[in-house]
Structure 1
Amino acid sequence: MGIIAGFFGTILSYIYGAVGSYGLSIIIFTVIVKAILTPLTIKQTKSTFAMSEINPKIKEIQEKYKNKPEKQNEEISRLYKESGFNPLAGCLPMLIQMPILFGLFYVFRDPVAHGVFANKAAFMAANGNFLWIQSLIKPDYVLAALSGISAYFMQIAMTPKDQLQGTMKIMTWVMAGMSFYWGFIFPAALALYWTVSNLFSVAQYFVITRPLKKRLALEKEERDAKKAIKGKK
C-alpha cells in the first residue's frame, strides 16, 4: 500500500504545484481517476444491462427448480454462458476503487510523508480554508453528510429498477451509511474525494452510460426482429 500511496502523493504534488490549492488538487485528481476508469464503467453498464435482460429468465429457472438447488445453479450458469454474461464484471470498478481509497487514506492522513508537500510548514500553509472546510486533515461533518447523500443517489441513479430490490436495496443503504460514517472518522480530504467521485459517477451515467443503454436496447430490438424474420422463413 505504501507504493500506491507514494504514487498518488506524487501525482497530487504535481497537481498542487500547478493549481496552488490542496482542495482543488483533490477534485482534479478525482476527475482524472474517474476518467481513467471510464472504460470499466462502460463495461459495468453493459453488464448491468445484460443482467436486466436475463433477469426474467433467471426468475423462471429459480421458480422451476426451487426444490433442486444444484439443478438451479447449473441452469443459471448455463444461461450466463449462453448470454456471455459475467456476474463479476459489474463489481470490477468497485474492486479497483478499494485499493485507491486505501492508498488515499494513507496519503491524506500524512501528505508530507507521501510526497504531496516538501515539509510540514508547506502543508500547514496549504491546509487552510477550502470552501467551508477549515481543515482537510480533520473530519468535516457537512462533507460527511454530502458523502452519504451522494452515495445514496449514485446507487439509485445507476441501478436499474428491476435490480433495486432485496439485497441490492439493502446495499444502497449500507453504502450510504458507510460513506456517512467514513466522513465522520476519516480526513475531510478523503470524504471530498468520495463525494466528488459519487457526483462524477452520476454525471457520467447521464452523459455516457444512459445513451449507451439506449443504444444497447435498440441493438437488442434489431436482433430480436431479425430472429423473428428468420423464424417465419
Structure 2
Amino acid sequence: MDTIASLFSFITTPVSWVIVQFHKVYGALFGDDSGWAWGLSIVSLVVLIRICLIPLFVKQIKSTRNMQVLQPKMKAIQERYKNDKQRQSEEMMKLYKETGTNPLSSCLPILAQSPFFFALYHVLSSIASGKKIGAINQDLLDSARQAHIFGAPLAAKFTDSVEKVTSLDASLTDVRIVTAIMIVLMSASQFFTQRQLMTKNVDLTVKTPYMQQQKMLMYIFPVIFAVMGINFPVGVLVYWLTTNVWTMGQQMYVINQNPTPGSKAQDAYLQRVLKSVTAHGQVRGRTRRNTVKAIVAKGPDRNDIERKFITGLGKLGLAAQDDGTVQKSETAAADAEGSQAHKRQQPKRQTKAKRQTAGAAGAKDAESSDAGSKTSLEKQDAPQDDQPKSAGKPASGSSRQAKSGQRKGPQRPKHPSKK
C-alpha cells in the first residue's frame, strides 16, 4: 500500500482538497459530522471527474465509430484468411495502423480514472487509520471517522474485524450488510452497462475483435468488482457505484441519440425519426438531420435498416436530401410502391408439413395422369374396323404412327429394282 500511495501521492492532495471543499458546502446543509455530507462530497467528486473526462469519452466514441466503418473490410479479411488465424490477426493489426484506430479505446475512461480511484482509496484508508493526509487536518479527520452511511462508517470494509469496526462506533453486521448491497449494485450496474452495449448497440452481422473484447468485459468486470469490493472501504464503494451509474446513463444517452449502424438501437432510432417525420412533415433537430444526411451520403452502401428507413420515407411521398432534410417526391413514392409490390410477389416459404402434403398430392396427380395417358394410348392402338376410311387419305392412326423421316400421306410404290 505504501508503494501505491507513493505512486499516486501527486494526486492525493488535490483529491483530498476537492473533498474538503464539497464537504464545506454539504456540511452547512446536513451537519459537518453527517454521513450525507461526506457521502455527497464523494459523489460530487465523481461527477466532477466524469465531466472532466467528457473529451476523452468523445474520443472513445469516435474511435468506436471508426471501428464500425472498418467492419466491412474486417469481414473481408476474416473471409479471406478464415483458415489462417495468425495471418488474419496480422492483417487486422495492419488495418488498425493504417486507419489510426485503437480497438482498446473503450478502456481509456477506466484507465484515466485509476489515479483518482487509488488516491481516494488511500485517503479513506488514512482516515480509517487515524492519519492526516493531504488537505484533511485533525478536525476533519475526526469528523470523517464519525460519519456513517446507513450505519456503516466511510472507512469501514467488509473484511474488517469486530475490534476495528467497534473503534469506529459501528456494528460489524451493519457494515457487512451495507457493503454487500453496494457490491451487488456495483457489479450489477457494470454488467447491465456492458450487456446493453452488446445487445442493442453492436452490429451482430460482423464479428470483430471489438465485439469479443466487449463480451469479455461484460463478464470479467463484474466478477473483478465483486472480488475486490470486499476490500474496498464504504467511501470507495460509494465512488465506484456512482461512476458505474454515470457510465450507464451516459451510454444509454449515446445509444438513444447516436446508435451503431446496423444495430437494434439504430432500427429503434430511425423508427422514432420516421414517426416524427410522419407527424410534422420534416426532420426536426440538428442531430437527426445529420443522421439522415449521413444515410443519404452512403448511397448503395446503406445497410438494411437504413434502406428500410428510406423506403418508409418514400411511402410518405418524401425523399431525403443531401442536407438531411426531406422534400415531397412522387418518384420516391412510386419507387417505394414498386419495391413493396416486388416484395409481395415473392412466394412465401411453406412449412415442412405443407411441402410434404403438396408432394403427395403431386405424386397422386402424376399417377392419375400416367394412367390416363396409358388408357388413351391403348385406345389409339386398338383396331378401328368400325370406322370407315376416307378415300385417298390415310387413317389418322397411321399418320401418328409414321416414323420420323417419312412423308405423310400416300406413299409411292418402290421401284422393283429397289425392293
Give the TM-score normalised by the residue count of structure 1: 0.82
| Alignment check: 8 A CA contact 1:144 1:182 kept | no
Which structure 2 residue ranges, 5 or more long, are not aligned?
1-7, 28-36, 158-178, 260-265, 267-286, 303-419
Q: 2:228 maps to which residue?
A: 182
Distance 1:158 1:10, change over 3 A: farther
RMSD: 2.9
1:231 corresponds in structure 2 to none
1:146 matched residue in structure 2: 185
> Which of residues 156, 163, 170 is equivalent to 2:195?
156
Q: Which residue of 2 aligns with 1:3?
A: 10
Q: Secondary structure at the match of 2:230?
A: helix
Please state whether the residue corresponding to 1:185 is helix, strand or coil: coil
**Partner Cα separation in structure 2 for residue 168 and residue 204 of structure 1:** 17
- Higher Cα radius of gyration: 2
Q: Which moved more, 1:45-54 or 1:192-201?
A: 45-54
Aligned to 1:115: 134
User: In the TM superposition, what whole-angstrom CA distance separates every residue of 1:164-222 from its partner, at most 9, and x where no partner exists?
Assistant: 86453232121011112222111011111111001011112233564234758645423
User: Residue type of the partner of 1:171?
Assistant: L
Structure with greater helix share of residues: 1
Given that residues 13 and 115 in structure 1 are in contact (C-alpha distance below 8 angstroms), is that contact kept between their aligned partners in structure 2? no
Offset, 1:79: 3.2
Match 2:23 to one of 3, 16, 23: 16
Give the alignment partner of residue 63 of structure 1, picking from 71, 79, 88. Answer: 79
Gapped regions of structure 1 (runs ≥ 5): 229-233
Question: How many angstroms does 1:123 deviate by?
Answer: 3.0
Give the partner amino acid of 1:138.
A
Deviations 1:128-166 (A, max 9, x none): 222x25211112221111111111112223453447864
Match of 2:109 in 1: 93
Instruction: Say if 1:30 and 1:78 are closer, same or farther in 2 by CA, change over 3 A.
Output: same
**Amino acid aligned to 2:196:** A
Report the alpha carbon displacement of residue 27 of structure 1 after superposing the two structures with TM.
0.4
User: Is contact 1:145-1:183 (8 Å) kept?
Assistant: no
Instruction: Name the aligned partner's letter for residue 118 of structure 1.
Output: N
Give the letter for the 1:201 counterpart.
Answer: T
Could you tell me how far apart the structure 2 residues matched to 1:36 and 1:124 are?
31
The TM-score normalised by the length of structure 2 is 0.48
Match of 2:49 among 33, 38, 48: 33
Cα 1:150–1:86 shift into 2, 3 Å: same
Q: Distance in 2 between matches of 1:90 and 1:134?
A: 34
Which structure has more RCO (C-alpha within 8 Å, separation ≥ 6)? 1
